[in-house]
A and B are shown apart, each in its own frame.
Chain A
């Protein structure tokens, strides 16, 4: 069972991406998270086994309070070992090369994905 977690403060972005994943039939479930607090809480549940570990995690970079990098740093700092269980991708509309470079330099990160997602991208990362 392939489940996906989307972390993005943009409600519409989450909605659209959820639809895309579900329509593609490449995944079984999509869980979208809209704030960093919620994300930390959810991963705490994953860590304690309450929630299943996701197959794929897409994280937005530009978010209020904590940005994508800081958020993941916080999560991995609190719950070590999570990084190996899932595929992590950063997903952003940013065209700032610094963001791309930083995303690629993170160990846990499989890659940087630029919005909007498309079916072909999904096939690539899930295939």
Chain B
């Protein structure tokens, strides 16, 4: 029986039961999640919830059925048939194929194919390993393509039909880790297979793999068991070593041959793993892997292994391992038969080496025959026999007839000076591991001439290191050596010529890079080589056009001879060159040109060269810009160049009257004298003459004449005529320009003066004279210090010395005194003028700044005025820039804090913190700044700060934004003014206002209350009068009415008195007089006791010693009020009124305590009893003013009044009266 991996089945069952519990499709997400359209479709078919379970159960039953069927399969044909059935029913597709590995044929065979023609099937099988099928088989990884348009994945290989496979499933058919086949299905529709189908597919492939593997192993083991019987017999007898190992590969038995070969006995070998025992380290990794795999898989393998014997000797065995199985196909052991093939291996290696050497020799020989200049020799060191090729004799220049013992023969040929060295080198090979040496040496030929030989010697040794044979080649390199020597000599010579040549020699690239140039070349242009390399040759041309024209000519003609080119000297002057140049055009950037050039700018030099070289003369003669003509001793014109013709305006060669130079002269009379001078050579210089050319133009020419002797013409006179018309014109221009400069100097608005080191005036310009009022005659001996103002002399002397020491002094301020004594203020620079390193004069350039200085001083005064104003304004004035940094602060500080100049450069924020403001305040200030900027208006705010003296200062600050024309903030002016006093006044005013409001309110109340209290009696009286007016009022009633009216009138009167008291208190000044307070109290008691219905008991207790000074009238009011209240609010239940007054001194006060036994005051009314018009009692019809007036009076006297009362028991009033006598 075989084991079936039930994992997937169990997994599926799990999902199914889970599906049943939850009843959602999600459950089967692993295999059945609706990832494809078909999944969704399947799900729809399965129906909602409940059906899913049913569906899954059905599938599981189906799979279980498959397993049963698989277990009963007996042959591969049955297996294939069953798999086909499963795939046709479960995985219908257009194309499907099952490939299985055929062990015997060593290839993948297509055992199932549907949808293919026979031809396509054969093709598919043939190319299986090259296609994805092979990839799946090799890697064991499935390839799943759900939808693709990629052609390589979708199309059949080499098929006559071309069909686009959109879905492809390629599954490995696996057993354990071994892939035994591939199942492949394809569909023309994308996403053909659901995930569930893919899962089924995987499972079936796995199961099929196991079954297939089991079936094939059965076949193999049957065959192997047959072999086993034969092998057992052979094993003991064979000279091959034989190992029998168990199924784990451990040795169970070895034969004698094994012991003989490996040195390990049977006892030593048992239980070991052969590979480990025999240390098969020399066996390749690939071979070892194959071995391991074969043993693991129980497969037959035939391979080579290289092992070590017990003693450590390497040997190579051909090994044949056969697995042995029982009748059920179970692996039981391995038999390994090994054949020693060590010697065979070595033999093969040797053959290989020989044939390789043979090949080398053949190749070499082939080369030799091809290049006939090489001589070949060979020496058999064992037999001392030799061979020299014919060419070898040629190389050494000796006849073959002299050939004897060839080694000695060769040695003798070597130049005695080289012999020892060469022989040592060759014989060195015998003891060295080197096989080949190469060397150059000299030999002497049969005619005694030295030859140069290059030799190559190869020593052949056998594998034991014995020297067998030497083979060599020789080449005569005499010619090369000599040529090289000549070349070196020639190069040195060339270099010398090159370097010392008076003509410029150059080799450059076409693009203008220097390859090499000589000194003369550099001298012609005035550059150093490095400069030119850096700047490139382009600097030598006046324009790129000139250069291009030159290069174009050169490219067209390849060689330019006597080419005239105008170039530029470093100094900028033009130099005319005569160039001979050759272009070596390689067609790439390596193209270069090489040539010589001669500077023919200076005709004199050219003439010298003419004398030196007629050839050169000729070229210059023809190409020179200077006209040259030659007259022989007879005065006959013998030659003239083109330039001469052009200068004289002659088209062709000269003749007739044109041959006389004098015919062109404007002033013919001067000619004889000049001619005389020229001929006598008294004046070797040139003559400038004005001529009229043949074509009628006026020209200036320079004429020179030199006697020369020429082979062709004998003694001659060489005339050179140079057109200097242009030069003349330039000269004239120069004169004009100089005059212009002079004008500038003269008319300059700057005062320009030049003094010598001795202080003497050298020159000065017109404005100098105008300013200083000297006349030109008067300044002859004028010294610098004559004109310097006395106050500036010292300073000026110091400056003058500085200039004398070579310094240019700038921005000098000085006053000069003119002849008229008027001072002129000047500003300017003085520079020293050097000539040949010596200070020769000073140049000064001054500007009259008298007016400017005056204006500046005025401005300064003005500025100072404003500054003084700002600095002394009683306000903190600061100016900030747009970045909120202080750029100005006046010194005023309201709070007297640290100097405000410290703020400069700081930000508003930082400065605010520095002055002790909180971060919030600092931010607030920033906010005001931003507001002023944003709203473009003045922002005003108040700040309260502690001054350095600790007072609190209130500062009103204003931010005035100042904007630029572009409306950007330019400046912010901050002005802070001290408004502490104002603020205090304001607070005071607010307080006063509040007071006033209160007073007004009270007054209001007072007026209404008074009017009420006054109106009430009147109303009563009016009502009583109307009652009295009733006719039938009897006399008794009338009397009652009248008595009532009287009471009412009485009350009204008392109200009026109280109002008077009140008014008096508030209106009148406080008096200070000595008061007998005891008398006041007694008087009051006497006055009011008559109002009482019951007897009044009065007790006075006084401890007063000092006289009391206070306001008598006011105090009387208070005492009257308190005493009358004590009597008024007596209790009806009491038999008498008890009034007790205590007087005593406390400090500056007199304390008066008035106590009664009256009705008392309810506790909740106590706080209000001193209020105006408050009446706490129903007993009396008081006005509610009495206690109010008392309290007001005591307040006025700066004393105090307090009350203590128990309802129903009595009341105590305590009054503290200040004694003014003690206060003062």
Contacts and interface: CB of A to CB of B under 8 A. Distances in A.
A65 B1012 contact: no
A17 B1027 CA distance: 10
A12 B1165 contact: no
B1181 A62 contact: no
Interface in A91-108: 92-96, 98-99
B489 to A, nearest CB: 142
Contact of A115 (B1019, B1027, B1176, B1184): B1019
A29 interface: no
Interface string B1030-1053: 100000000000001001100000
Contacts of B311: none
A10 interface: yes
Contact of A9 (B1012, B1022, B1044, B1181): B1181
A46 interface: no
B1015 interface: yes
A94 B1012 contact: yes
A23 interface: yes
Given A19-B1027, A95-B1011, A64 B1016 contact: no
A56 B1024 CA distance: 22
Contacts of B1009: 62, 96
A19 B1023 CA distance: 10
A95 B1016 CA distance: 11
Nearest to A115: B1019
B885 to A, nearest CB: 61
Interface in B984-1029: 1008-1009, 1011-1012, 1015-1016, 1018-1020, 1022-1024, 1026-1027
Given A11-B1181, A65-B1175, A20 B1027 contact: yes
Contacts of A93: 1012, 1015-1016, 1018-1019
Contacts of A99: 1008
Interface residues of B, number: 27
Contacts of A92: 1012
B1008 A17 contact: no
Nearest to B1016: A93
B1016 A13 contact: yes
B1034 to A, nearest CB: 13
B1023 A64 contact: no
Taking chain B's interface residues, is the majority helix, strand, or loop, or is none over half, making it mixed? helix
Interface in B1148-1180: 1165, 1173-1178
Interface string B1181-1217: 1001000000000000000000000000000000000
A13 B1012 CA distance: 13
A13 B1017 CA distance: 9
A94 B1008 contact: yes
Interface residues of A, number: 30
A69 B128 CA distance: 117
Given A94-B1008, A96-B1012, A12 B1047 contact: yes
Given A62-B1012, A65-B1165, A65-B1176, A10 B1023 contact: no
Nearest to B1019: A115
B1012 A15 contact: no
A10 B1015 contact: no
A12 B1020 contact: yes
Among A10, A20, A93, A99, max chain B CB count under 10 A is at A93
Contacts of B1178: 9, 34-37, 64-65
B1205 to A, nearest CB: 15
B1011 A16 contact: no
A53 interface: no
A116 interface: yes
Contact of B1020 (A10, A35, A65): A10
Contacts, number: 80
A10 B1051 CA distance: 11
Contacts of A37: 1178
A78 B471 CA distance: 149
Nearest to A38: B1178
Interface in A56-78: 62-65
Contact of B1026 (A10, A36, A118): A118
B1045 to A, nearest CB: 9
A1 to B, nearest CB: 24
Contacts of A17: 1023
Given A9-B1181, A64-B1176, A95 B1008 contact: yes
A13 B1011 CA distance: 17
A12 B386 CA distance: 181
Contact of A20 (B1023, B1175, B1181): B1023
Interface string A1-27: 000000001111101110110010000
A64 B1019 contact: no
A116 B1019 contact: yes
A115 B1181 contact: no
A64 B1175 contact: yes
Contacts of B1012: 62, 92-96
Nearest to B1045: A12
Contact of A116 (B1020, B1030, B1177): B1020
Nearest to B1180: A64
Contacts of A95: 1008, 1011-1012, 1015
Contacts of A115: 1015-1016, 1019-1020, 1023
A34 B1015 CA distance: 19
A95 B1013 CA distance: 10
B647 to A, nearest CB: 132
Contacts of B1022: 116
Interface string A30-54: 0000111100000000000000000
A12 B1048 contact: yes
A99 B1012 CA distance: 11
A16 B1024 contact: yes
Contacts of A96: 1008-1009, 1011-1012
A87 interface: no
Contacts of B1184: 64
Contacts of A82: none
Nearest to A94: B1012
A36 B1024 CA distance: 25
A108 B1074 CA distance: 59
Among B1008, B1011, B1176, B1177, max chain A CB count under 10 A is at B1008
B1015 A13 contact: no
Contacts of A10: 1016, 1020, 1181
B1044 A64 contact: no
A116 B1016 CA distance: 8
B1176 A116 contact: no
Nearest to A37: B1178
A20 to B, nearest CB: 7
A118 B1027 CA distance: 10
Contacts of B1008: 94-96, 98-99
Interface in B832-886: none
A18 B1184 CA distance: 26
A13 to B, nearest CB: 6
B1129 to A, nearest CB: 12
A36 to B, nearest CB: 8
Interface in B715-740: none
A83 B444 CA distance: 164
A16 B1175 contact: no
B1181 A116 contact: no
B1044 A15 contact: yes
A68 B1012 CA distance: 14
Contact of A13 (B1020, B1174, B1175, B1176): B1020
Query: Which 4 A-B pairs rank lowest in CB-CB distance, beginning with the nearest?
Result: A64-B1175, A96-B1008, A115-B1019, A35-B1178
Given A11-B1181, A94-B1011, A94-B1012, 12 more contacts: A12-B1048, A16-B1020, A16-B1027, A20-B1027, A34-B1178, A64-B1184, A92-B1012, A93-B1016, A93-B1019, A96-B1012, A98-B1008, A115-B1019
10 contacts: A16-B1027, A16-B1044, A64-B1174, A93-B1015, A93-B1016, A94-B1012, A95-B1012, A96-B1012, A116-B1022, A116-B1026
